[in-house]
Amino acid sequence: MARPLRINYEGAFHHITARGNERKKIFLSKADYDTFLNFLKDASHKYGIIIHCYVLMGNHYHLVVETPQGLLSRFMHDINSGYTTYFNIKRKRAGHLFQGRYRSLLVEKDSYLLELSRYVHLNPCRAGITDRPEDYPYSSYRAYILPDEKTIVSRGLIMGMASSDPRRAPAQYRMFVERAVNGEQPPSFKAYGGMILGSKQFIRESLEKIKEESLSKNETSGKRLLVAPPLDIRDIISSLALRHHVPEETIISSPPYRHYAIYLLRKHTTLSNGEIGHYFGMGIAAVTKAVTRLANRMKTDKKIQGEIRKIEKQLSLVNG
């Protein structure tokens, strides 16, 4: 099977996500979280990766990393394969732990990194696990608001974006994050080709950095991908989650987001009703009914019609 094109170069910033196979949990105990962080720490030293922030949720994780030596793939292979081996031995199981390959989004540092760090740190709040991000033990947020906290992350860059005064930076960063907790609406993220988060200039510069060999026949139709990358489930689920500022699990399980996702998947991907139904735990008839109902509602409900059009416009950026 063709592999998705990845953009990776020295000095790049990436938002990484990886999810448990069939959305199952990948962390079942405190020891699991601690072991994963040890893998993360060791691999970052080995490959010269700078970790700027992270959050480990029950069935997935987010990382924001910088790759001074451009060794992202090797770094991620060490983490996921090492942790899978640990998890399988401990649980006397075999097979895949993660759902396919990790997802990597190239990020523009100056315009997006601070906002992205807030998005990552607020995952436990959006998931309803805690009301205060500092109460969640498996993220880097406490390291940002408590300067003496031991951590594997490099705080200087993002803290400098929060305040030019190092003494005021922890409090300023806390205020920045808490504004979103208290109702401030962060800007929507729009990713070009499902790969690049940044300005038009940044997108152009990033595409220029892709070497010709990365567009060889061994990659997923790389040239075609950059012209019109095909949408898949992850593109649509993540786009909806980012637009509505809710966890991806909410998109999958709760109306109206679940209905939007099913409608968009049927309209904009090559997935069959059976494949969509399998992902959402529904039968083929239920998928057909959900698509038909939303299509009929759109004929008379201008609000829903407008919402779907906005999402489709955002997806058009993902589709190049």
Instruction: Note whether 12-181 and 230-318 share their fold.
Output: no
Q: Residue 13 above 90 pLDDT?
A: yes
Reported as a single tens digit per residue, the pLDDT across 268-318 is 776 778 888 888 888 888 888 898 889 889 989 999 898 888 888 777 655
Range with the largest mean pLDDT of 30-39, 248-257, 296-305, 307-316: 30-39
> What pTM did the predictor assign?
0.68
| Domains of the chain, residue spans | 12-181, 230-318
Q: What angle do CA 191, 115, 199 make, to 5 degrees?
A: 40
- Angstrom CA distances, 159 to 6, 64, 117, 191, 290, stand at 29, 14, 10, 24, 45
CA atoms of 278 and 280, how far apart (whole Å): 6
pLDDT, tens only, 75-108: 999 999 999 999 999 999 988 999 888 999 999 9
The CATH superfamily holding the domain 230-318 is DnaA protein, C-terminal DNA-binding domain (1.10.1750.10)
Confidence of residue 36 (pLDDT cuts 50, 70, 90): very high
What does the DSSP assignment read for 79-131? HHHHHHHHHHHHHT--S--BSSS-EEEEE-HHHHHHHHHHHHHTHHHHTTS-S
Location of structure tokens 């504004």 = 179
**Contact in structure between 41 and 88 (CB atoms under 8 Å):** no
Number of helices (H), then strands (E), belonging to the chain: the values are: 15, 6
CATH architecture of 12-181: 2-Layer Sandwich (3.30)
Question: Alpha-carbon distance 98 to 101, whole Å?
Answer: 7
Phi-psi domain of 245 (left: phi exceeds 0; alpha: psi -120 through 50; beta: other): left
Rounded CA-CA distance 184/177 in Å is 9
Q: What is the pLDDT of residue 191?
A: 75
